[in-house]
Structure 1
Amino acid sequence: MATTASGRVGRRAAAPARPPLGLVPTGVLLLGAIYCLFPVSWVVVAATKTSGELFSTGTFAFGTGFFQNLADLAAYRDGVFWLWMLNTLLYAGGGALLSTAVSAVSGYTLAKYRFPGRNLVFNVLIGGILVPAVVLAVPQYLLFSKAGLADTYWSVLLPQILHPYSIYLARVYAGAAVPDSLLEAGRIDGASHVTLLTRVALPLMAPGLVTIFLFQFVAIWNNFLLPFIMLGDDHRFPLTVGLFTMLSAGANNPSLYNLILIGAFVALIPLVALFLTMQRFWRTDLTSGAVKA
């Protein structure tokens, strides 16, 4: 028996070790991270180079002109870059907040109330998701032009408020995160519809609403086509259109390439800071404190 047991132990020890299954998805995620971060890292490195170093040094060799590039960017056309930054914060921050509020109310209503035409409204929203934004850009411009709102801040801000996909996400999240029994208990206690929305539903939907806000903020921050069509005055441009005009001018003035690169680097900072600041909301307990035993 001892010999048999020792033989089994020896055969088990001699069996080749299998690699952990977790290495495969980890490797895939690592490759995806490298693929996504490669252009960002290049922008960070290129933003530190002077005009002479940009095309003469190695691809990932840091330069010595970061602070000079930053000073030149601040002085470009009397600081128009910072005006573009403020415009972008207005468009992205204001549009994302309004869109999140509209999506929260609309999604909660579609998920928790029964009314005539409810399914029709939801199907129209699904159809709106399938329509590319580029198809709507020119009709929106014509409508705003007739209303006298073209080339204004409203022409960029208003189209971002009603976003079908955000309403769809809010509806799905409200249906999963807000228990019907909790709403019914609130109605028995005499809570109004507004109270149920603001005191019960919205706190439970907070992680989902943060996701919607971030999606909308990033989408509006990176939006190029809509402001490019709507706006003619460069003092109302967001960063995307402003940097594009600098890139177009850089064809005849290569010295602007350094300003474009440092401008792209500065434009990344608010997005990174926003994600690092708001990611903690995704770790909150969805129903913590909502139902007591």
Structure 2
Amino acid sequence: MREILPGVARPFIKWVGGKRQLLSELEPRVPSRFNGYHEPFVGGGALFFHLLPQNAVLSDTNERLVRTYRGIRDAVEDVVDLLSSYPHDRDFFLQMRTVDIDAKSDVEVAAWFIYLNRTGFNGLYRVNRNNVYNVPFGDYENPTICDADNLRACARALKHADIRHASFESVLDRARPGDFVYFDPPYVPLSASSSFTSYTSGGFGMAEQEKLRDVARELKARGVRVLLSNSSAPDVYRLYEDGFELAEVGATRAINCKGNGRGRIQELIIR
């Protein structure tokens, strides 16, 4: 069994629905001891960086995000060197948006991803159906483009992590009794106008939410400890009304594609 260790690294990207502010609510619901750690929607990785589990599989369907994690894990100094050379400039930002980044190395993907995340509007990562990043330039005076010390801390934390481009369902193939899985999917929207699932070109709708519920139920039946986060939308209560414990917690959302989508809201922690 692996005991939880206190974290020192911080998420290196801003992420819609990031969990840093909810760590005090999540940690008491994490098993104090577990074997493997699995996070199939890794996003900003706040819980991973806080817990620093020794045997972790981090995965996501956003291949650029996965390659960013790999670039930091495998060659953080090269990422730091590239990021340090990038100016905070609108023209450079617009030029970076047009780069055929998928043909580049993991190091170049990581620097590209972090740069656009730090200088784009409101920290969003959003793509259209053609997987083209389409966030406008952000209104920042002096954003921190390269936090070298934190990137190095993240690289140390990721040193032994297995980082995969995979769907959330694939956790069924690797999670074993005694493991712990944390799901932080794109949320069920609180209203029709608040939906935002464009982290990948495919989106994440109610069919995927129902499949996620079924995967969580199957894992629990196998003796795998499960924790999920989602919105407090009525559909989420309906999805998890049988066989799950639900706790409502307050969260402040500072990253949203609409200004009126930011502020204090209620979220659910499910296990």
Same fold (TM > 0.5): no
Query: Which structure would you say has the larger Rg?
Result: 1
Higher relative contact order (CA 8 A, sep 6+): 1
- Point out the structure with the larger helix share: 1
- Point out the structure with the larger strand share: 2
Give the structure-1-normalised TM-score.
0.27
